[in-house]
Structure 1
Amino acid sequence: MAEVGISVATKVAEYLVQPVIRQGQYLFCANKFLKNLKDKKKELMSTRDIVVKRVEEAKRKTERIEDVVQKWLTEVQTLLEEVKKLEQQVKANNSCFQGRCPTWKRYHLCKEMVEKTKVMIEFDNKSNFKTFARLATLPGIEYSSSEGFTCFESTKLAYAQIWEALQDDGVYRIALFGLGGSGKTTLVTEVRKKAKESNLFDRVVAVTASQTPNVRNIQGQMADMLNFKLEEETEKGRAQQLHMRLKEEKRILVIVDDVWGEFNLKDIGIDFYMCHNGSCKIILTTRRQQVCTLMDCQKKIRLDLLNEDEAWALFKRHAEPDNQSSLSLSSVAQDIARECKGLPIAIQAVGRSLKGQSIHEWKIALEKLRSSKPVDVEDGQGNVFSCLKLSYDYLKDENKLLFLICCIFPEDYYISNEDLIRCGVGLGVYGEYQSFDLARSQIMVGINKLVDSCLLMHSVRWSGGITLKMHDLVRNLGLWIASKEGRTIMVNLSNNLSLIGDGVINDQFAVSSWYRQTNQISTLFVAAKLEILWIETGGSLDLSSASFEGLQGLKVMVLDSSCNYNPTSCNLSLPPSIESLTNLQTLCLRGWKLGDISFVVKLKKLEVLELKYCFFNELPNQIANLNKLKLLDLSECAALLENYEAIGELSEIEELYVSDASHPRGMWRNPSPSFGDNVVATKLQRYVIKFV
């Protein structure tokens, strides 16, 4: 108990005695306090001079000084003036410091000197500013790309999804993907602006990756946005500097625009932990959906195209057709906006190029769009195809050819994977292949690449099947590229091929005709460069007067009676010269009454032979001579087959599809087919057999 009493007494002594000692110092240590005051004043003035020099240097660089720096300088100046006055008071009352007897004046001045000394020490310690200055920004330049931004319904949806993800603590990597020119950059610029205004993040940084990322350049962009100077020379050293700087922010948003492939964020200074602990979030934009997966994005958001009303509203803003009173111009303008198919960059570029032009210019532009010819856009306003062409340029050569094949179909056509596979094999898109199954896989990978690059789109037909579609302007781009690269494609929609003048197809790489009224072609075909001939009609077709001898380079031929697959009503008459197509590798005849098909045995390079929905007498015995044939499609062939044993003679066949249209209730069977005693089709990998 006595020990407790002693302890309490000691504490009481501390509280009572220590203040008395401090007060006594004010009376008996005056010279010491005055010396300390002068020393700290000198140190603070030296620090102030250093800060002033930094301010002058920053201003020469047109940097904007942070408010905290300006405030420090102002308060330091005020403090130094107060210290100067205090020194004058001490000098004026010098007699108070000479005698041994303490006075109230001495006590008061000493106490004030101690307090001012402490304040000067505090200001000196605050001179290590976290951020000293930043690059000056001209009014409006930071968000210039979003000028005139309109949040359409499609944009609102993507915007809302991004904003929701930014507020979700469990999501730290967000991807916005869509077709080139669909407005991704503009949208994330608006998100960036909103993020800064809402104070959701302490700092928002936006950089551009581009097609071939330059790590050093990206690091420089980030440093500029952070008002931070990179001292290191190596990319690794700069990444470490940026990493340490980013760690100073509690919450930071980094927008990486125009990402084309996988790259390691750690290379530029953003590590995995920063994202996981919630201090950093990433938004990236890309044209390629696969990038979203490669970059481990948890939220993948598609930016859709504009609907017709939105497209018209955007077009009017840039073309200003309402400023001209002509009703006919308004009608043409709406047709042009419709032809742009909802792609913002195309709408803007075409609209700007036509602004203030006469109705004659507008009509010519509409005709160019409708006839798949690019509309020229003036320099400075961008080319309607320049952004889209980047996606094409990024493809491998074989995928570029596959892309061009897609362009032989009309606008809004539902393209089947199987058509692309059979055409691709015929053209040798991927060169030689070990097996047809491998070639099929390679082409499917190529299709996925095109979809991933937004050059193709998955689509669902009204009947429910999954197909592919190509945006009309992307298709026009392909036709334009084909003409520039010496692979011109002619897509005939409105004329009988016999009425097309001589020489028109001489230099064509591909000719496709979709004119349903075509029933006879007597043209003498002379086209050494032609590799694809695709004709679709609405009935019988007479080619008996045509000559194929000038088509020695033809590799793919498709003759289709369209949806009228009644082979008893659609006659196809072929000329004897069809046997001269010795380079033909894919032949597809669909829905025809053929009769004798012995001509096929002369086509020694055939790899794909399709006779779907056709009626013919029998398979020729010599079909075994087609020793390169990999795929034979006899699906839904009527009155099949008097000589089906010949199929067993095909030594290289890998895919076989056989069914009898005269027995629609037939059963599907999966066991290995039997085509006679001399079966040599040992490479068969895929087959469908449908008999009764």
Structure 2
Amino acid sequence: MPGVGKATLVKEVVRQVKEDKLFDSVVMAVVTRTPDVQKIQDQIADMLGLKFEEQSMTGRASRLCQRLKKEKNILVVLDDIWEKLNLMEVGIPLGDEDQRCTILLTSRDLNVLKKDMDAKKSFPIGVLEHEEAWHFFKKIIGDGVESSDLLPIATEVAKKCGGLPIAIRTLATSLRNEPPFVWEDALRQLSKPSSSNFAGVPATVYSTIEWSYDRLQSEDHKQTFLLCSLLGHNVLLDLLLVFAMGLGLFHGVSTIKETRNKLLTVVSDLKASCLLLDGNTNLQFDMHDLISDVAMSIASKGKPVFVLRRKHDLNDWPDDETMKECDKILCGGISELPDQLNCPKLTFLSMGRKDPWMKIPTTFFKETKNLKVLFLVSMNLPSSISLLGNLRVLLLILFPKLEKLKPSSVGIERIWSSQAFCSTQNLTSLIIQGCANLKYVLSDSMPEYLQQLKCLEISECKCIQEIISTDKMIQQTFKNRALIRFPRLNFLKLKGLQKLLGFCNEDYTVEFPLLTILEIENWIHP
């Protein structure tokens, strides 16, 4: 069952094991409902101080396996397993009598542990008994409740949490130090549980989380919370920042620094309300699966949200009428796509593919002209992207075969042409990561159509020589233009650009009148 405290318990086990020195080494990785073998490998490697040189998954697995076998007595913890995970594919050794490798797994489904993972021992964790639940609830709101007039109401409110620690913590935190009328109103609302149907969890438990959401102090907090619920586990705050900017979540802020400060304030408030958690680092945040499920349910009541985290086909997509109303779509593991996405109200689209040969159809974006944020992982860009006049954020990750940002590689017609590139006139953020063979990012004509650009981030593109390169096809048209200007750019980050010769090697003057943050990492001037 979700929310019973498996992750908290296993972290305490790890702490106790380290303190008592029961193993020579302890490593831990969070698997999640959408297992990413590379991320699991990275988590374990980081704790071992191992750096991968191999690019292939099998090569990384072999290196990790060799490293783990060097440990005489090691505990490997894999938290939050949803389905069968091939441990050898990750690089965790099995069946070697000389290798004392103990594996501890956690899952919300006992059958996954017994049948799929062939666990030798299992320890079911249930909800808290009444006395335990009340003690936990009382610990959060304060022992003084037992001697106050609130006691009868507080007791009934605590019961609504169903003994589930995550619900107790969230509700008790929201009600702490509140006057009696707030408690009475909370009990009234919790006595009318949500009609939402979630397998394995009472509706009253979901009502406790919904109630905490309703009490958030502003619409900024609510919209940020709902956005966070869509993004998965241990998400970078910088990624959330880019999405928030693209969707225009915050009003009254004009620079990236102001937006970042606003976002950090909201995230801090959400953590204080126990609706968000700390991530693996201080640059990340996390959210409990149960709270994420409730948040997505809340989001879908107003504007439909479509999320598919596992491999799927078109049969899993909603009907046409639902798609027409859809506000956000997140799809991982795509194996096929419709020829055209008929979503006129869509503002946010995130997609990643499993099939390396699959391409986005040419007319895919024809009916998504309201799209503001587009996040693609290892997918081509069709020519219909030129129709996205409201696009503010374009985020591309892992394009290993991309050589140039031009039609022959990514499917965009005339991206180097001034006529077509004017469709990006509202773009505020451009982020490119992991395009290993990309040599140039922009032509000298393109900045004219990036007048709203505030954030430019290019990282881990090892072959980039220049950020701006002269487009020979239109060089004559712009030959007299000596000035390139980014009038609104206030954040520029260049990271891991090993072959970068300069920002613009042609005879141009480049100006950034509003630039306030410049980050350059892992670059040695030639």
Could you state the TM-score of these two structures normalised by the residue count of structure 2? Answer: 0.55
Name the CA distance, whole Å, in 2 between partners of 1:660 and 1:189: 49
Q: How does 1:172-183 map to 2 (within 5 A)?
A: none
Partner AA of 1:385 in structure 2: Y
C-alpha contact 2:246 2:428 (8 A) present in aligned 1: yes
Partner of 2:451: 627
C-alpha displacement at 1:397, in angstroms?
0.7
Question: Are residues 1:521 and 2:337 paired?
Answer: yes
Could you state the TM-score of these two structures normalised by the residue count of structure 1? Answer: 0.43
Name the CA distance, whole Å, in 2 between partners of 1:674 and 1:445: 41
Partner of 2:464: 640
C-alpha displacement at 1:536, in angstroms?
2.3
Partner of 2:513: 682
Equivalent residue for 2:375, pick from 558, 567, 570? 558
Distance 1:639 1:189, change over 3 A: closer
Q: How does 1:643-658 map to 2 (within 5 A)?
A: 643-644=467-468, 649-658=485-494
C-alpha displacement at 1:288, in angstroms?
5.6
Structure having the higher helix fraction is: 1
SS at match of 1:644: strand
Partner of 1:481: 298
SS at match of 2:385: helix
Partner of 2:225: 403
C-alpha displacement at 1:446, in angstroms?
1.3
Distance 1:676 1:487, change over 3 A: farther
Structure 2 residues not aligned, in runs of 5+: 1-7, 13-128, 159-170, 179-190, 407-414, 471-482
Partner AA of 1:287 in structure 2: T
Equivalent residue for 2:325, pick from 507, 511, 522? 507
C-alpha displacement at 1:621, in angstroms?
2.0
C-alpha contact 2:235 2:279 (8 A) present in aligned 1: no
Partner of 1:583: 390
Residue by residue over 1:622-641, the C-alpha shift from the partner in whole angstroms, topping out at 9 and shown as x without a partner, is 33221110001111123213
Q: How does 1:229-268 map to 2 (within 5 A)?
A: none
Partner AA of 1:583 in structure 2: N
Partner AA of 2:493 in structure 1: Y
Partner of 1:602: 423
SS at match of 2:297: helix
Question: Are residues 1:206 and 2:206 paired?
Answer: no
C-alpha displacement at 1:674, in angstroms?
9.8
Equivalent residue for 2:312, pick from 495, 499, 509? 495
C-alpha contact 1:408 1:510 (8 A) present in aligned 2: no
SS at match of 1:637: coil
C-alpha displacement at 1:467, in angstroms?
2.2
Q: How does 1:461-472 map to 2 (within 5 A)?
A: 466-472=283-289
Residue by residue over 1:262-313, the C-alpha shift from the partner in whole angstroms, topping out at 9 and shown as x without a partner, is xxxxxxxxxxxxxxxxxxxxxxx95169x89x9xxxxxxxxxxxxxxxxxxx
Distance 1:573 1:684, change over 3 A: same
Question: Are residues 1:384 and 2:216 paired?
Answer: no
SS at match of 1:679: strand
CA RMSD of aligned residues (A): 4.5
Name the CA distance, whole Å, in 1 between partners of 2:391 and 2:349: 11
Larger-gyration structure (1/2): 1
C-alpha contact 1:648 1:675 (8 A) present in aligned 2: no
C-alpha displacement at 1:184, in angstroms?
9.4
C-alpha displacement at 1:573, in angstroms?
2.6
Name the CA distance, whole Å, in 2 between partners of 1:182 and 1:468: 31
Name the CA distance, whole Å, in 2 between partners of 1:609 and 1:183: 54
Distance 1:471 1:477, change over 3 A: same
Partner of 1:6: none
Partner AA of 2:219 in structure 1: D
C-alpha contact 2:340 2:361 (8 A) present in aligned 1: no
C-alpha contact 1:551 1:581 (8 A) present in aligned 2: yes
Name the CA distance, whole Å, in 2 between partners of 1:420 and 1:409: 8
C-alpha contact 1:654 1:685 (8 A) present in aligned 2: yes
Name the CA distance, whole Å, in 1 between partners of 2:429 and 2:242: 7
Residue by residue over 1:223-275, the C-alpha shift from the partner in whole angstroms, topping out at 9 and shown as x without a partner, is x99xxxxxxxxxxxxxxxxxxxxxxxxxxxxx9x99xxxxxxxxxxxxxxxxx
Partner AA of 1:510 in structure 2: K
Distance 1:183 1:422, change over 3 A: farther
Distance 1:533 1:206, change over 3 A: same
SS at match of 2:365: strand
Q: How does 1:197-346 map to 2 (within 5 A)?
A: 205-208=147-150, 286-287=172-173
What's the % identity of the aligned pairs?
A: 20
Partner of 2:17: none
Distance 1:642 1:630, change over 3 A: same
C-alpha displacement at 1:505, in angstroms?
2.5
C-alpha displacement at 1:459, in angstroms?
2.4
Distance 1:555 1:589, change over 3 A: same
Distance 1:465 1:497, change over 3 A: farther
Question: Are residues 1:659 and 2:495 paired?
Answer: yes
Name the CA distance, whole Å, in 2 between partners of 1:190 and 1:640: 58
Partner AA of 1:657 in structure 2: K
Partner AA of 1:486 in structure 2: K
Name the CA distance, whole Å, in 1 between partners of 2:374 and 2:244: 12
Partner of 2:239: 419
Partner AA of 1:530 in structure 2: L
C-alpha displacement at 1:502, in angstroms?
5.8
C-alpha contact 1:415 1:469 (8 A) present in aligned 2: yes
Partner AA of 1:446 in structure 2: V
Name the CA distance, whole Å, in 2 between partners of 1:183 and 1:414: 33
Name the CA distance, whole Å, in 1 between partners of 2:138 and 2:364: 61
Equivalent residue for 2:352, pick from 536, 548, 551? 536
C-alpha displacement at 1:525, in angstroms?
0.5
Name the CA distance, whole Å, in 2 between partners of 1:511 and 1:444: 25
Distance 1:645 1:404, change over 3 A: same
C-alpha displacement at 1:188, in angstroms?
6.5
Name the CA distance, whole Å, in 2 between partners of 1:489 and 1:182: 37
Equivalent residue for 1:369, pick from 174, 182, 199? 199
Distance 1:501 1:387, change over 3 A: closer
C-alpha contact 1:645 1:676 (8 A) present in aligned 2: no
C-alpha contact 2:469 2:504 (8 A) present in aligned 1: no
SS at match of 1:422: helix
C-alpha displacement at 1:544, in angstroms?
3.7
C-alpha displacement at 1:655, in angstroms?
0.7
SS at match of 1:385: helix
Name the CA distance, whole Å, in 2 between partners of 1:654 and 1:686: 6
Name the CA distance, whole Å, in 2 between partners of 1:402 and 1:189: 27
Name the CA distance, whole Å, in 1 between partners of 2:341 and 2:430: 22
Larger mean CA deviation between 578-587 and 505-514 belongs to 505-514
Equivalent residue for 2:134, pick from 186, 193, 205? 186
Residue by residue over 1:58-98, the C-alpha shift from the partner in whole angstroms, topping out at 9 and shown as x without a partner, is xxxxxxxxxxxxxxxxxxxxxxxxxxxxxxxxxxxxxxxxx
Distance 1:182 1:573, change over 3 A: farther
Distance 1:658 1:636, change over 3 A: same
C-alpha contact 1:498 1:521 (8 A) present in aligned 2: no
Distance 1:457 1:499, change over 3 A: closer
Residue by residue over 1:192-216, the C-alpha shift from the partner in whole angstroms, topping out at 9 and shown as x without a partner, is 9x98xxxxx9x962244xxxxxxxx
Name the CA distance, whole Å, in 2 between partners of 1:183 and 1:553: 52
C-alpha contact 1:534 1:559 (8 A) present in aligned 2: yes
